[in-house]
Chains A and B, each alone.
Chain A
């Protein structure tokens, strides 16, 4: 491309880049270089070192962990262009974004859209500072894919709601401060009887019981509500608007689950590099097992096409504004490919890749097993693959409901 004269915008971007570099030089603890965000997942307690705490506080006070959220609520107030520069500079410095979790991924964007002024003032700034952890109270024993069948009730008691019922599969429920919940405020209408309520996990009457998963960890819980008093100002939107708001939140969840957030964290080194480490190579450095080589190439080509699809969706949604129903397509594709990748990883490593604990295995091998198992959840939660297919067929392709 021909060189063109520097515009005012270029100059402003350059100044911003310098500001970010200075900030990183002043605040990013070098010992954290290359580390991941402990707050990104909900699978564990937040065990931060002092350095990690300092880094979270520094980014939080700038609002740069949530760079494009409005500054009025503690966000960074950055343009998309500036946010991109920030990301580039973080990556260059080997620094992670220390702010994350369900508050950032799904609840915050939804509250910014549907919450009232007081709710935004109250709940968004602590998310931006990474001080409050949120969990999701949607699923119940009899309301999984058929989420609208939920039975947890919130009874209007004048100045408060009285909540009774059981949620399940509540990820991070044992570590969360608050829960965004779908509750029933009206039994006469399946969908319009649902409301979106914010519940304090420390409130009397809330009890959590961790559930052990096939990966051996217990990252999720059963959550019981027994006569829990919830102030009325914790209702988001109007009574009966919960289904609309709740579905919107799921779009944000899917966008995050598909490629960016959790899948990316499960990504280790390139499969071909792993295979070269664990398997024989020819004199010319190619993998000796040609069948495996072909399967890796087959996977990497489709994975490449998926990454291009995620990029295209981002560009298109920027051009059109907002998350789109393409989030279902991305979630369906990304989770399937992520699982395929995990299976190939295990296969490449052989029995060395199935170590459960103890001696004889590297950390990467041990965590790979857990990630492989946990990864099975990705096609179940956030709306299972089958449910995404229903959504794509009906909403995107306009195929009719069964009559």
Chain B
């Protein structure tokens, strides 16, 4: 765990307590049972907004708290521990795009509402099942945006879309007729949709430079890696707890060296993942080497969560295969997040390119 300021520590403890007491995995089960396509509990999201979590990276001048990315990341990590469903990550990323690329008017129009939780925002970037921000068919003509975005996170309740077109990022408001949201049920049972824009009114994000899209994606990679870190930590802790109490051959499983060494390996991996993810957040806060840090953070998150989620199921034996036991939720969500904003091969390629080979 990174060394925190007092303020950050308070925020982290608050998130930890709320998640443990108010948002256990049972809440996600209830959301899933409800079957709503939005796949989260609006009351829970309203509470998050009241606690200020929706405004963590938004400047004070626009209704936020400006606590920085390390703070935002710690909250998201805690939420990942109980697979808490919410549009917090999506909204934070939409806000980040506006903070980086918006005009003063755009900031004044949207940031206070994103900070208060009144507006839910999300990124609409990729157009197929693979993260591929280099080839985009979406176009804008005369302020009207047309294109189809695949597997958009948290689109169902979003009223603000940050959409990538071939020539830059645009803000599009959800509107009947021009913005169509078609549900795509993925294994993680969260909100995903294909979003079709048919001549939707669009405003360009003019600031933030030619690489605005990359900057936004770097933030998406790092914040997503935070959710993955919480998940990996939880699967590890749950598995360790299980090995310590399950008895076979008249002894607890945790006394078998073969299993001890596998847990020791995973513990080392988890340490590397945590360092990589926290390193990403610190890079964002200091502004140093962000692209490399983002590729490194998510590549490590992909590698380690992938391994831990597989080992977690294996080390539980049969009970790990049951829907009644929580561990399967982490396995399914893990693969969705691994594929979002860059698979491991995409990120390795990007890392090599950024490093000049």
Interfacial residues, chain A to chain B (CB-CB below 8 A): 272, 275-276, 285-287, 293-294, 296-298, 300-302, 304-306, 308-309, 311-312, 315-316, 318-319, 326, 329, 332-333, 386, 388-390, 392-394, 396-403
| B279 interface residue (CB < 8 Å to A) | yes
A296 and B357 contact, CB distance less than 8 A: yes
Residues of B240-275 at the interface with A, using a CB-CB cut-off of 8 Å, are 240, 243-244, 251-252, 254-257, 259-261, 263-265, 267-268, 271-275
**How many residues does chain B have at the interface if contact means C-beta atoms less than 8 Å apart?**
44
A285 and B271 contact, CB distance less than 8 A: no
Q: Which residue of B lies closest to A273 (CB)?
A: B357
B264 and A332 contact, CB distance less than 8 A: yes
| B337 interface residue (CB < 8 Å to A) | no
- A326, B272: Cα distance in complex, Å: 12
- A388, B274: Cα distance in complex, Å: 20
Chain B residues near A396 (CB-CB < 8 A): 267
B353 and A308 contact, CB distance less than 8 A: no
Chain A residues near B356 (CB-CB < 8 A): 272, 285
Interfacial residues, chain B to chain A (CB-CB below 8 A): 1-3, 240, 243-244, 251-252, 254-257, 259-261, 263-265, 267-268, 271-276, 278-279, 292, 295-296, 299-300, 303, 345, 347-349, 351-353, 355-357
B352 and A329 contact, CB distance less than 8 A: no
A329 and B267 contact, CB distance less than 8 A: yes
Q: A301-B348, A305-B300, A399-B255 are in contact. Are A276 and B357 (CB under 8 A)?
A: yes
Please give the distance in Å from B343's CB to the nearest CB on chain A.
12
Q: Which residue of B lies closest to A272 (CB)?
A: B357
Q: Which residue of B lies closest to A402 (CB)?
A: B255
By DSSP majority rule, is chain A's interface helix, strand, loop, or mixed? helix
Chain B residues near A308 (CB-CB < 8 A): 272, 275-276, 278-279
A sample of 6 more A-B contacts (CB under 8 A), given A302-B272, A312-B275, A329-B267, is A287-B352, A300-B351, A309-B275, A393-B261, A399-B263, A400-B251
Q: Which residue of A lies closest to B254 (CB)?
A: A399
- A403, B260: Cα distance in complex, Å: 14
A300 and B355 contact, CB distance less than 8 A: yes
- A326, B244: Cα distance in complex, Å: 21
Please give the distance in Å from A98's CB to the nearest CB on chain B.
31
Please give the distance in Å from B154's CB to the nearest CB on chain A.
29
Please give the distance in Å from A24's CB to the nearest CB on chain B.
27
- A287, B357: Cα distance in complex, Å: 6
Contact of A389 among B265, B274, B352 (CB under 8 A): B265
- A388, B261: Cα distance in complex, Å: 9
Please give the distance in Å from B348's CB to the nearest CB on chain A.
4
A397 and B263 contact, CB distance less than 8 A: yes
- A304, B291: Cα distance in complex, Å: 14
Q: A305-B296, A309-B272, A398-B244 are in contact. Are A272 and B352 (CB under 8 A)?
A: yes
